[in-house]
């Protein structure tokens, strides 16, 4: 069980000791030498194609604008806000149509289906920095960043694991359909790439004729699709690798999670990873005023617009709420209340066990 050594907002807080092993073997379910070419080949092609941003022919400010737009529209909405906080941890709810739109955004980031992403991340929380963690950097840095996706792992590529860790996701007919027909999400990804290509072609043609049309089509595709996809891959993977190695710790959790300001900046808040491991259910990972959590503020704006409900508050407020309820039922004056009790082991892992 994790033990808090600081209280959010407590000025007396100090950095928690390091945790996590110094070295781990590969997960026991890894089949060494069996490369998952279905992932490896697209990764290689996309990384090579992304290098084309350095070729002047492919540059345009429209392409750069689409790159920045895509990071936020597809990347932030799809991965940290939807796949992570909404689907994996249930830290807020939206109307179903909004949730599915966000899932479409996530599919446009080529990070696989919602059931797989959720199952893998819940396995990570259940075994963080222990051998069965799918991507601990205590195996090695390359493994945690990308290597774990390239090798067969019977613990993560297993239908039984999806049913165990993502049963709630598979109970949704649309997400189950995506799981049964893998060509669907690939088709969605290709469709949005074609939209960017032909949209760029149309803009270029209107701007300067046929020659500009082809240049703009390729610029929008290389910057707005290829480079953006590769960039969002790496900032997502950085949460798995960098934030379990570098940074400070507010809480003495039983793994090596850390708060890393650099990853927090590039991911809109996900880098406050030690805060997240300590309180997985909370919708916000901002435990000190300067640990800015942009994704949380976006969710709060959605709440104002009536698009987000059931936002899970931080743990200390959940305990406080529980305390007040008890007091009200018993009629005890507020002044007589003791500090809220420490969480039980079940409460610490409430997110995973709620599946």
CB of 115 to Zn ion, least distance (A): 16
Q: Which of residues 222-261 bind Zn ion (CB under 5 A)?
A: 257
- 212 vs 257, beta carbon nearer Zn ion: 257
- The alpha carbon dihedral of 280, 284, 286, 291 has a sign of positive
Residue span 82-121 as binding mask against Zn ion, x where in contact by CB under 5 A, dash where not: ----------------------------------------
CB of 265 to Zn ion, least distance (A): 18
**Number of residues engaging Zn ion in binding (CB under 5 A):** 1
- 192 vs 255, beta carbon nearer Zn ion: 255
Six token digits for residue 269: 């808040």
CB of 284 to Zn ion, least distance (A): 13
* Closest by CA position to 244, among listed 332, 136, 342, 326: 136
Q: How far apart are CA 39 and CA 45, in angstroms?
A: 10
Q: What per-residue string of b and e applies to 11-24 under the rule 16 or more CB within 10 Å gives b?
A: eebeebeebbeeeb
Distance in angstroms between the alpha carbons of the first and the last residue of the chain: 19
- 47 vs 164, beta carbon nearer Zn ion: 164
CB of 128 to Zn ion, least distance (A): 6
* Closest by CA position to 270, among listed 233, 235, 317: 235
Q: Strands (DSSP E) along the chain, which ranges?
A: 30-35, 151-153
- 228 vs 273, beta carbon nearer Zn ion: 273
Residue span 4-33 as binding mask against Zn ion, x where in contact by CB under 5 A, dash where not: ------------------------------
- 76 vs 257, beta carbon nearer Zn ion: 257
- The alpha carbon dihedral of 158, 126, 243, 291 has a sign of positive
Residues that bind Zn ion (CB under 5 A): 257
């Amino acid at each position: 069980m994790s033990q808090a050594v600081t209280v959010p907002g407590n000025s007396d807080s100090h950095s928690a000791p390091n945790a996590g092993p110094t070295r781990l073997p590969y997960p026991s379910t890894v089949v060494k030498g069996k490369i998952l070419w279905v992932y490896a080949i697209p990764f290689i092609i996309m990384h090579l194609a992304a290098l084309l941003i350095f070729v002047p022919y492919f540059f345009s400010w429209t392409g750069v604008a689409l790159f920045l737009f895509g990071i936020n529209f597809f990347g932030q909405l799809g991965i940290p806000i939807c796949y992570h906080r909404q689907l994996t941890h249930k830290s807020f709810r939206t109307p179903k149509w909004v949730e599915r739109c966000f899932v479409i955004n996530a599919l446009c980031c080529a990070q696989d289906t919602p059931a797989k992403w959720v199952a893998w991340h819940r396995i990570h929380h259940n075994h963080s920095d222990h051998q069965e963690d799918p991507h601990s950097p205590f195996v090695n840095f390359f493994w945690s960043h990308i290597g774990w996706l390239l090798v067969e792992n019977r613990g993560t590529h297993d239908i039984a694991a999806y049913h165990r860790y993502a049963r709630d996701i598979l109970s949704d007919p649309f997400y189950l359909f995506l799981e049964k027909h893998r060509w669907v999400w690939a088709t969605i990804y290709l469709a949005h790439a074609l939209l960017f290509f032909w949209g760029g072609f149309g803009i270029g043609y209107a701007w300067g004729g046929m020659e500009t049309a082809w240049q703009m089509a390729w610029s929008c595709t290389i910057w707005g699709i290829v480079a953006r996809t590769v960039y969002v891959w790496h900032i997502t993977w950085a949460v798995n690798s960098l934030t379990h190695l570098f940074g400070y710790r507010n809480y003495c959790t039983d793994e090596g999670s850390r708060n890393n300001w650099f990853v927090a900046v590039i991911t809109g808040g996900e880098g406050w990873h030690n805060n997240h491991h300590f309180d997985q259910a909370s919708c916000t990972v901002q435990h000190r005023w300067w640990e800015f959590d942009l994704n949380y503020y976006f969710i709060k704006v959605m709440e104002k617009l009536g698009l987000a409900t059931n936002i899970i508050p931080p743990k200390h407020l959940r305990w406080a709420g529980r305390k007040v309820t008890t007091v009200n039922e018993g009629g005890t004056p507020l002044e007589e209340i003791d500090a809220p009790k420490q969480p039980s082991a079940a409460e610490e892992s409430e997110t995973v066990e709620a599946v």
